[in-house]
């Protein structure tokens, strides 16, 4: 992690990153308790770490990154995303949106507001995405959420 990414991540933590990471962990724990929700729990834990330290990483399509489709990137992944959206995605997106609005009031908070908006989009449709360092994203960044 570069020095700039480290500095941005530290500022991010105090500008709502820690609270939204906790929200992702709560969603993951709720999904894990149901046993049926374990695939969603795994994705939510990965995104919780990304939400805590997003700078220097990006979310990319797993199919674009690996070059092949799997269960999470096809029609089954779309069904999983719809279920996620109904159960947890909308309120995580709402949390990111609230932080984005609060941060957008100040000029200094605008970059972090933009990051919250990108994470709000990811929270609505996370299945089929993976978190990778920006320098490893390559051509898979198209449609990703680079921060």
CA 123 – CA 50 distance, rounded (Å):
11
CA 133 – CA 70 distance, rounded (Å):
21
**pTM for the predicted model, two decimal places:** 0.85
b/e map 1-36, b = 16+ CB within 10 Å? eeeebeebbeebeebbbeebbebbbebbeebeeeee
Instruction: Kindly indicate the confidence band of residue 2, based on its pLDDT and cuts at 50, 70 and 90.
Output: confident
* For residue 89, pLDDT beyond 80: yes
Give the Cβ contact number of residue 107 at 10 Å: 7
For residue range 38-81, what is the model confidence (pLDDT) as tens digits? 888 988 999 999 999 999 999 998 888 888 877 777 888 889 89
pLDDT at 147: 54
For residue range 98-126, what is the model confidence (pLDDT) as tens digits? 999 999 999 889 989 999 999 999 999 99
Name the residue ranges covered by the structural domains of the chain. 3-141
pLDDT at 92: 96
């Amino acid at each position: 992690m570069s020095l700039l990414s480290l500095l941005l991540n530290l500022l991010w933590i105090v500008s709502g990153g820690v609270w939204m990471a906790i929200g992702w962990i709560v969603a993951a724990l709720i999904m894990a308790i149901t046993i049926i929700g374990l695939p969603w729990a795994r994705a939510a834990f990965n995104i919780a770490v990304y939400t805590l330290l997003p700078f220097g990483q990006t979310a990319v399509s797993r199919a674009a990154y690996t070059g092949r489709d799997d269960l999470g990137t096809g029609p089954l992944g779309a069904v999983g995303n719809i279920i996620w959206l109904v159960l947890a995605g909308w309120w995580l997106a709402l949390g990111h949106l609230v932080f984005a609005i609060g941060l957008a009031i100040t000029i200094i908070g605008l970059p972090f507001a933009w990051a919250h908006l990108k994470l709000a989009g990811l929270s609505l449709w996370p299945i089929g995405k993976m978190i990778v360092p920006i320098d490893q994203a390559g051509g898979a960044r198209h449609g990703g959420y680079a921060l």
